Structure 1
Amino acid sequence: MAWNEPGGNGKNHDPWSSGGDKNPGGGKRNGGGNNDQGPPDLDEALQKLQDRLNGLFGSKKDGSGNSGGTGSSGGGKGGSFTLVGIVAVLALVVWAGMGFYTVDQQERGVVLRLGKFHNVVNPGLQWNPPLIDEVNKVNVTQVRIHDHRALMLTEDENIVDVDISVQYVAENPEFFTLKVRNPEVSLAQASEAALRQVVGGSDMNSILTEGRQIMAISVQERLQRHMDNYETGIRISGVNVRNAQAPSQVQDAFDDVIKAREDEQRSKNEAEAYANSVVPEARGNAQRMFEEASAYREEVVARANGESQRFLALLTEYRQAPDVTRERLYIDMMQNVLTNTPKVLMDVESGSNNVMFLPLDKLMEQQRGTSGASTRSSSAEMNLRQLNDQVTEQARNRQAGSLREGR
C-alpha cells in the first residue's frame, strides 16, 4: 500500500517523516505518532526540502521554526533567492566552460565578436566568451586542389579541350573567411577566366605540344592576380595542365594531323642528318680540288719557268757550240719519241731470209697481258726485249753515223 493512500500507516510509509513530524509552524501534529495520521501535502514537502537546503548554506531557525527570525513567508522568499543564485552560478560555470577550445597546429582561428572581426588566434588552448564570440577555424597549410575542364577557342580559331588542376592554400584566414562569401566558387570562375585568356592568345599547335608548361605558368600568374584583387586570401601554389587535346568529335582527324607533323619533323631531321654528313664531305672535296688546282698551277708555272730557264741556258750553249748543241737536242728528242712508241728493228743488210714483217709488238703486248704464262714464255719475252734493245742501239748508232756523214 502506498504511503499516501487513506488508511495507511503514515509513520512507517511517510518518506518525509523521522520520528515525530513537525507542522509548518514547528509543532507536532495532532496525535503525535498515532497510526491514524494522514499524508502530508505537497507544500509541506517542498517546505521541508527548502529548509534542508537553507541549513546546508548556513541559515538559522528560531524557536518557532522560522529562519532568520522572520515569519514563514519571509523564509520562503530567502530560500527562493538562494536557489536562483545556485542556478545562476551553475549556469555561469557551464557558460564559461563552453568558451574553451583548441586550435590545431595547422589551423588558425578567426574570431568574430557579435558578428564583427575581432582577431586571429594561433594554435593552442584558447578561450573566448561563448554566445558572444564565434570562432571559425581555417587550415592554412593544407594544399587543396581544384580541377577545371572546358572547351576553349584558340588564337587560330581551333577548339581544344583543356583539363587543368589548380593547387592552392588558404594563406590569409581573415580574407578567406570574411572577404568573399565562397572563395572556392570565386577560384573556379577566376580559373576559367585566366585559362580562356591564355588559350585565346595561343595557337593550337603550341597548346597540344611543347607549349603546355608555358601555358601553365601564365595561367598561374593571372589566377594569382585575380585572387589578390578579390582579396580571397588564397595563394596559388601550382597549376598543372593534365590534358590538352582536340574535341572527341574530331580527335581522329587531329591524330592524323599530329602524325603527319611528326613524319614531317622526322623527315626534316633525316634531311638535316644527311646534309650534315654530305656537306662536310662536299666541302672537303671542294677544298681538295682547290688544293689540287693550286698545286697544278704551281707545277705548271714552275715547269714553265724551268723550261724557260732551260731554254735560255741551251741558247747560251748553242751560241757557243751550235753543232754539238743541235746534235744533243736531236738525240734527246728521238729518245723521247722512241721511248713511248712500240717498235721492232731488223737487220736486212746481212742477206738473211728473215720475214720482213712480223707482228712482234702485238706478240709482246699479248705476252705482257697474260698473267698465267709459263716460264718459257717469260724467258722468250726477255730474250725478245734484249734483242729489241740491241737492234735499237744499232739503229741509233747507224743513224747518228749517217747524220754525221751528211753534215
Structure 2
Amino acid sequence: MNTKGIAFIVSGIFAFLVILTLSFGSWYQVDQGERGVLLENGRLLRVEDPGLGFKIPVIESVRFVSVRDQNVVMNLEAYSYDQQPASMQVSVTYSVPADRVADLYSEYGTLSNLQTRVIERRTPDAVKNAFGKYTAVRAIQEREKLGLDATQAVIQSMRDAPVQIVGVQIEEVGFSSAYEHSIEQRMLAQVQIETTRQQKETAAINAEIKVVNATADADARRQEYQAQADGIRLKGEAEAAAIKARAQALSENTNLVSLIAVERWDGVLPSTQVPGSALPFIGIK
C-alpha cells in the first residue's frame, strides 16, 4: 500500500472520529433532581429542566446543578446568655430552588463554592446569636425551641443568597463538666422541692377528706339522735293525749266506771261488803 492510500485511510478514520464526537456531543440528558445550565462559549443561555436536550457541539456546553437537599455539619463554640461556654454540633440542610439555579451559577459557579462561601460562613454567627439569647439551663430544657430560633436566624442570614434553608438541627450541646454537675444538682433540688410541695398538697387534701368524713358522721349521728328524740316525744305526746282523753271521758260519763267494773267482773262475789251498801263491792282492776 502506497503512502497516498495510507493517508486516505487515516483521514477517513479521523473524519469518522470527528463525526462520532460531534454526534455524541450534540445531545445531553438532565437527570431528575438536577438542572442543566446551558452555556454558549461560557455565556449562560438558559437553565434546562430534566430530560433530553440538544446543543451545538464545541460551541455549547452544559453544567449540571443539583436541586436536591444538601447537608453540612459544623462544630461550633458559643456562649450562653449567662456566659457559659458551650460546644455544639450543628447540621444544616439546604437546597437550591430551581428558579435560582441561574443565580447560583452566575454568582458561585458550583454548590461547593456556595457551601464554602455562604453556608459555612454565615451559619455560625446566626446560630451563636440565637444561642446567646438562652441561658444554659434554658438551652438544655428548651432544645426544640432553640432549634426553631436557630433555623429562623439562619434563614434570615441567607435571605439574599440563592439557597433555601430546609432546617437547622442543633444535635449536641455540651457544657463544662463542673457546670453540667451543678445543673444536675439544681435539677435534683428542684425535683425535691416539687416532691415536697406535692406531699404537702396531698396531706392537705387528706386532712380535708377527714374533716368532710367527720362532719358527715357527726351529721348522721345528729340526725339519728334527733329521730330517736322525735320518736320519744311523739310517743309521750300520744300517751298523754290518750290519758287526757280517757280522763275527759270519765269525767263526762260517771256510769262509765260502773260499766268498766261490770266488764271486768269475773262472776265471783266479793268476800267483803261495804257497810250500808245494797250490792257487793266489785273492785275495778
Given the two structures, how large is their TM-score scaled by the length of structure 2?
A: 0.64
For the structure 1 residues 255 and 218, does the alpha-carbon distance in structure 2 shift closer, same or farther, using more than 3 Å as the test?
closer
- What's the % identity of the aligned pairs? 19
- 1:308 deviates by 11
Mind listing any 5+ residue stretches in structure 2 that lack a counterpart? 235-285
CA contact (8 A) 2:79 2:86 kept: yes
Match of 2:103 among 175, 184, 189: 175
Q: Secondary structure at the match of 1:201?
A: coil
CA contact (8 A) 1:100 1:128 kept: yes
Aligned position for 2:83: 157
- 1:242 deviates by 1.4
State how far apart, in whole Å, the 2-side matches of 1:216 and 1:238 are.
Answer: 9
For the structure 1 residues 156 and 308, does the alpha-carbon distance in structure 2 shift closer, same or farther, using more than 3 Å as the test?
farther
- 1:91 deviates by 8.8
CA contact (8 A) 2:76 2:90 kept: no
Residue 40 (structure 2) pairs with residue 105 (structure 1):
no
Aligned position for 2:145: 214
Match of 2:207 among 269, 282, 286: 282
CA contact (8 A) 1:179 1:231 kept: no
Q: Secondary structure at the match of 1:266?
A: helix
Q: Secondary structure at the match of 2:57?
A: coil
Aligned position for 1:244: 173
Q: Which amino acid in structure 1 is aligned with residue 209 of structure 2?
A: G
For the structure 1 residues 134 and 223, does the alpha-carbon distance in structure 2 shift closer, same or farther, using more than 3 Å as the test?
farther
Q: Secondary structure at the match of 2:74?
A: strand
Instruction: Give the stretch that moved more between structures: 259-268 or 157-166.
Output: 259-268
CA contact (8 A) 2:131 2:150 kept: no
State how far apart, in whole Å, the 2-side matches of 1:281 and 1:148 are.
Answer: 55
Aligned position for 1:121: 48
CA contact (8 A) 1:150 1:163 kept: yes
Q: Secondary structure at the match of 2:81?
A: coil
Q: Secondary structure at the match of 2:64?
A: strand
Aligned position for 1:205: 137
Aligned position for 2:123: 191
Q: Which amino acid in structure 2 is aligned with residue 191 of structure 1?
A: T
Given the two structures, how large is their TM-score scaled by the length of structure 1?
A: 0.47
State how far apart, in whole Å, the 1-side matches of 2:97 and 2:45 are.
Answer: 18
Task: Report the structure, 1 or 2, having the larger strand content.
Answer: 2
- 1:94 deviates by 5.7
Aligned position for 1:253: 178
CA contact (8 A) 1:208 1:245 kept: no
Once superposed, what is the RMSD of the aligned Cα atoms?
Answer: 4.0
State how far apart, in whole Å, the 2-side matches of 1:306 and 1:125 are.
Answer: 108
Q: Which has the larger radius of gyration?
A: 1
Q: Secondary structure at the match of 2:187?
A: helix
State how far apart, in whole Å, the 2-side matches of 1:176 and 1:163 are.
Answer: 27
Larger RCO: 1 or 2 (CA < 8 Å, sep 6+): 2
CA deviations 1:362-405 (Å, max 9, x no partner) are xxxxxxxxxxxxxxxxxxxxxxxxxxxxxxxxxxxxxxxxxxxx
State how far apart, in whole Å, the 2-side matches of 1:273 and 1:171 are.
Answer: 54
- 1:289 deviates by 4.2
Q: Secondary structure at the match of 1:176?
A: helix
Number of aligned residue pairs: 232
- 1:285 deviates by 1.7
Q: Secondary structure at the match of 1:263?
A: helix
Aligned position for 1:145: 71
Aligned position for 2:164: 235
State how far apart, in whole Å, the 1-side matches of 2:20 and 2:128 are.
Answer: 55
- 1:284 deviates by 0.9
Q: Secondary structure at the match of 2:56?
A: coil
